[in-house]
């Protein structure tokens, strides 16, 4: 029984492309959410509204951080796919 894990570099590249597109979409969405919250903060006069906007901005920042992690993962997958392709040439 072999413990070898076979990786498909083409599938890895397709997944990386999808993840990159997702990240781009999330940058666009979180930018709009942040702008909407910023615009709304000028109109919110009560503490409850301001607290709600702070919570929403916290969610937006969490989404932005997760998006950065997804971008880094996509980059790492491409590096791995390249290494797999190089190693396949030596087999």
pLDDT in tens, 47-80: 998 999 999 999 999 999 999 999 999 999 999 9
pLDDT tens by residue, 27-55: 999 999 999 999 998 888 899 989 999 99
Contact predicate 28/40, CB 8 Å: no
Put simply, whether the predicted model's pTM sits higher than 0.85 gets the answer no
Write the CA distances from 28 to 22, 64, 90, integer angstroms. Answer: 10, 10, 42
* pLDDT in the model for residue 1: 60
CATH of span 9-89: 1.10.287
């Amino acid at each position: 029984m072999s413990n070898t894990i076979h990786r498909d570099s083409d599938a890895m590249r397709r997944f990386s492309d999808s993840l990159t597109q997702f990240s781009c979409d999330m940058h666009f969405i979180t930018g709009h959410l942040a702008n909407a919250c910023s615009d709304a903060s000028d109109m919110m006069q009560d503490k409850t509204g301001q607290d709600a906007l702070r919570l929403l901005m916290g969610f937006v920042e969490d989404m932005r951080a997760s998006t950065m992690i997804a971008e880094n993962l996509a980059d790492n997958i491409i590096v791995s796919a390249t290494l797999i392709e190089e190693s396949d040439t030596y087999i």
